[in-house]
Amino acid sequence: MNAAPTLHAERDMGAVRWLLVAVTTSAGRRRVSAGPPAEAFMNHRLLSSTSLRVQPRLGPRLLCSSTTPAASIRRSRTAVMATAGAGESWCGHELLNTVTTVALVDIRGQVVKHQDEGSDFFSTRYEGMEADYLDAHIPGAVFVDWTKDIAYTDENGVPAQLTDRESFVIAMQERGVGADKRVVVYDNGDMLFATRFWWAMRRFGHDKVAVMDGGWAKWQAEERDITPDCPCPLKVYTEWGIPLERERPGLIATSADIRAALARRGKAGGGSDRQADAAVQLLDARAAAQYTGEVRRARLGGHIPGAVNTPYRSFLAEGTGPDGSFRVFKDLEGITEVFESAAVDTSPSAAPIIAYCNGGVASTVALFLLFQLRELRGGGAAAAAASSSGSDSDGFGRGWWSNYDGSWNEWGSDEFAPVERP
């Protein structure tokens, strides 16, 4: 038997807000054919927390007769009982039949890079890792290919652009993701594909999404249960159920938005100041060598004028388990230090933030963590209002933060785009 894990959850206006899963104990790994493990489903070590204990109660085993790789799935009843300290008010929260109330998404992917000898240019290829998923994954997880299922190459040849509503909704419904589901997503362990999925879900109006801290690498290193079996698509299908008015198109920034921001800041012609008196704060989440132009992954090298460099890996810390190493998000102090060292204003009154990287993926790591900091610093009321209204102008749209989806794949391929190099 696996020991019951200790999990952490944020207390926010009397509710449990699903943003980040932080599993804090380890257990022996075995290959199983089962539904989602109970220990995967609660959140949030960055925020003030209390302890929750998860106690699984197994329900009936349901066999799947389809010809998919899944031989069977088990539906479990999981009671999540809050054990708060003196004076804290917590309600017991029971997740009945977790296969139908929680969707676990595997979005492992990779960027394959190639550099010719003596060149400063890296060619890249974006890939989903479905073969790895079919070999082994967390029990109960469904697979989303970040390059095909929820993205496309646009008419200008810019790859991995977030797909349209219809395609996104179809992909989610086929994987059992809808308005009535809480969603937990994991990737290889650098969190960038998971946070991009979190951003995409928020853009299309789904707010109940958690990112598994440490992802697959941490799960393996801690020798937790894995399986090659896949949930039956006939059994996981669910209606999306989120109306159009809850969507937030403002979470996507375009090259036109960037150029308008540069014009407002008087930066189109260059300059040496950074975020001072900025109408918009620009965050470049690429590695430092790409920011400076030392290496290129597009025609141009360098960065968008006025952008500051916050490499996504600077937000991660190393960890170790019984069976290997992994990365997790830094603690609150470490994350704050990264932003402060780059002169990023994270206060509630700060100028709007647009983040970019090469393909709008790593940039979402910075945006995800900025979202957490804003919640801590008084954004909870605005968050609640935006969540209920679907507005993109009161803390969740371009008035607060957005992701430049085209990123350097688009900007760095435009010979007329303004670029800075130190």
Reported confidence tier of residue 158, pLDDT bands at 50, 70, 90: very high
Q: What's residue 100's pLDDT? A: 56
Please name every residue paired with 133 in a beta bridge, in sequence order, or none if there are none.
none
Average pLDDT over residues 54-76: 28
- Rounded CA separation 110/128 (Å): 6
Which residue is it, tokens 């069977």?
Answer: 72
Q: What digits encode the pLDDT tens for the residues 288-312?
A: 999 999 999 889 999 999 999 999 9
Average pLDDT over residues 195-218: 97
DSSP string across 306-369: T-EE--GGGGEEEEEETTEEEEEE--HHHHHHHHHHTT---STTPPPEEEE-SSSSTHHHHHHH
Identify which of 248, 108, 109 has the alpha carbon closest to the alpha carbon of residue 165. Answer: 248
Reported confidence tier of residue 379, pLDDT bands at 50, 70, 90: low
Reported confidence tier of residue 174, pLDDT bands at 50, 70, 90: very high
What structural domains does the chain harbor? 1-238 (3.40.250.10), 249-411 (3.40.250.10)
Reported confidence tier of residue 90, pLDDT bands at 50, 70, 90: very low
Angle between helices 332-341 and 363-374 (to 10 degrees): 110
How far does Cα 301 stand from its chain's mean position? Answer: 27
Q: Which residues make Cβ contacts (< 8 Å) with residue 93, sequence separation at least 6? A: 16, 80, 82
- Rounded CA separation 8/20 (Å): 10
Q: What digits encode the pLDDT tens for the residues 105-137?
A: 999 999 998 888 888 888 889 999 999 999 999
Q: Indicate the pTM of the whole model.
A: 0.77
Average pLDDT over residues 30-37: 46
Average pLDDT over residues 359-377: 92
Quote the percentage of the chain above a pLDDT of 70: 68
Q: What is residue 2's DSSP assignment?
A: P
Element spanning 301, H or E: none
Reported confidence tier of residue 317, pLDDT bands at 50, 70, 90: very high
Reported confidence tier of residue 93, pLDDT bands at 50, 70, 90: very low
Backbone angles phi, psi at 221, to 5 degrees: -60, -30
